Amino acid sequence: MTREEARALDAADPLRSFRERFRLPEGVIYLDGNSLGALPEATVARQRDAVERQWGEQLIASWNCENWIDAPARIGARIAPLIGAAPHEVVVSDSTSVNLFKAIAGAAALRTERIILLTELGNFPSDLYVADGAAAMIAGLTLRAVPPGEVEAAIGDDTAILLLTHVHYKTGRRRDLASLTARAHAAGALVVWDLSHSAGAVPLALSADRADLAVGCGYKFLNGGPGAPAFIYAAERHHAQLRSPLQGWFGHSAPFEFRDDYAPAAGVQRFACGTPPILSLLALEAGVESFDGACMVELFAKSTRLFDLFAGEVERRCPELALVSPHNSDERGSQISFAHPNAYEICQALIAARVIGDFRAPDILRFGLTPLYLGFEDIWIAVDRLAAILAQQSWREPRFAVRAKVT
């Protein structure tokens, strides 16, 4: 494809106007929206209003008059259609890692007669660490992490919980949520899905697929801002029995009655814990609203075309890069990853050339495909700069080998 052809695709793209909702630095091609979503233009004014007027002028009255108190449920309800859930099945709260702990402990209490918390090796580290800690703390629960290809066969009579990440953070490989959930249910187990690289990235149908519990990230594809609060989903059919292990007052049925005894709030709200970070919540709300008017099916269809252009141009112009993401769009999320022994240095050289992707140890070069604000010409330019860096071996400059704390 030529640059002109890519530009023509942008001109014909019905989603093109969405990029105007985002503030992106001139000349930068941002391929890291899977790690930190771009800044929505609306967030800037919303944050200013939240700080200056709501907090500065109205002070504590804003809990009522700006409905701060309902923000976790309100924003959860806005995330719900993006993940195929009912509005009252999602609440925004804490971080993904904390929500994972709550989901595991909540599910374990519904399966006390079973002993295994099953997950896969190579899962996102925080998921493995939280699972390990939860298993150490919950009597009778043992963590079993098996190689990815052995998960399905390992589901058995002793499985209490299957804990899986839907889209793998490194490769972008997507699990079949419906069939694995059905497989676990047939064995009598519950499933906790981590949707960090799925929410706002791929179409999801949690209700139709009979998901039990899920967690997901606010600062990646949902554009909620650095460290944005996460969400937790629980299917309505579990609401009456589920309990959070972190019984904070915001998960109480009547927090402002200040009672000594804990009584869980109705539904998923019981997974809220302490006072929510309102400024961050309002930023997340604007991030989620940046999806208004677009549906996940059309966004992912564009993502697939961006992927095909990226993969095709890399195959033609950068033969030293090995594609590690699945070719088949049904089997991947909204990213493209390549392996190369010097992925770190190449990534740094690309950033110096104003193409921002990221590196995942030990050898993965990863690019997020965010159809809300990326176009076909962006992909073309990114691969053009990548091809030049590889052809000239400019990544060998010593400055590109200096390791930063965050990659």
Ligand X SMILES: *Cc1c(COP(=O)(O)O)cnc(C)c1O
Q: How far is the CB of 128 from ligand X (least distance, A)?
A: 10
Candidates 119-127, 175-183, 205-213, 384-392 — which segment interacts with ligand X by CB under 6 A? 119-127
For ligand X, the binding residue among 58, 126, 207, 407 (CB under 6 A) is: 126
Q: Does 233 bind ligand X (CB under 6 A)?
A: no
Which one-letter amino acid corresponds to residue 318? C
Distance, in Å, from the CA atom of 69 to the CA atom of 203, rounded to the nearest integer, reads 30
Q: At what angle do helices 3-11 and 376-392 cross, to 10 degrees?
A: 160
For ligand X, the binding residue among 95, 207, 394, 407 (CB under 6 A) is: 95
Nearer residue to ligand X within complex by CB, 169 or 376: 169
Answer yes or no: are the C-beta atoms of 135 and 117 closer than 8 Å. yes
Exactly one of 124, 221, 231, 344 is catalytic; name it. Answer: 124
Candidates 25-33, 89-97, 142-150, 279-287 — which segment interacts with ligand X by CB under 6 A? 89-97
Q: Does 194 bind ligand X (CB under 6 A)?
A: yes
Q: Does 89 bind ligand X (CB under 6 A)?
A: no
Exactly one of 111, 174, 220, 332 is catalytic; name it. Answer: 220
Which one-letter amino acid corresponds to residue 330? D
Q: Does 335 bind ligand X (CB under 6 A)?
A: no
Q: How far is the CB of 273 from ligand X (least distance, A)?
A: 14
Tokens representing 254 are 């009547």
Exactly one of 219, 359, 367, 373 is catalytic; name it. Answer: 219
Strand partners of residue 192: 163, 213
Burial 275-306 (b: 16+ CB within 10 A, else e): ebbbebbbbbbbbbbbbeebebeebbebbbbb
Which is it for the CA torsion 16, 20, 26, 28, positive or negative?
negative
Nearer residue to ligand X within complex by CB, 65 or 404: 404
Nearer residue to ligand X within complex by CB, 18 or 221: 221
Answer yes or no: 219 catalytic: yes
Restricting to residues 165-184, name those near ligand X by CB under 6 A.
Answer: 165, 169
Q: Does 332 bind ligand X (CB under 6 A)?
A: no
Q: How far is the CB of 83 from ligand X (least distance, A)?
A: 15
Exactly one of 127, 194, 358, 378 is catalytic; name it. Answer: 194
Q: How far is the CB of 20 from ligand X (least distance, A)?
A: 27
Answer yes or no: are the C-beta atoms of 335 and 374 closer than 8 Å. no
**Site for ligand X (CB under 6 A): how many residues?**
13
Answer yes or no: 194 catalytic: yes
Exactly one of 366, 373, 378, 400 is catalytic; name it. Answer: 366
Residue 97 backbone class (left: φ over 0; alpha: ψ -120 to 50; beta: rest): alpha
Q: What backbone phi and psi angles, to 5 degrees, belong to 143?
A: -85, 130
Nearer residue to ligand X within complex by CB, 169 or 400: 169
Q: Does 291 bind ligand X (CB under 6 A)?
A: no
Answer yes or no: 124 catalytic: yes
For ligand X, the binding residue among 68, 101, 124, 233 (CB under 6 A) is: 124
Q: Is 14 exposed, middle or buried (0-12, 13-18, 19+ CB in 10 A)?
A: exposed
Answer yes or no: are the C-beta atoms of 135 and 164 closer than 8 Å. no
- The order of strands in the sheet holding 159-165 is 90-92, 231-234, 213-216, 190-194, 159-165, 116-120, 142-146
Residue where the block lists tokens 């966004």: 299
Q: Does 119 bind ligand X (CB under 6 A)?
A: no
Q: Which residues bind ligand X (CB under 6 A)?
A: 95-97, 124, 126-127, 165, 169, 194, 196-197, 217, 230
Active site amino acids? 124, 194, 219-220, 366
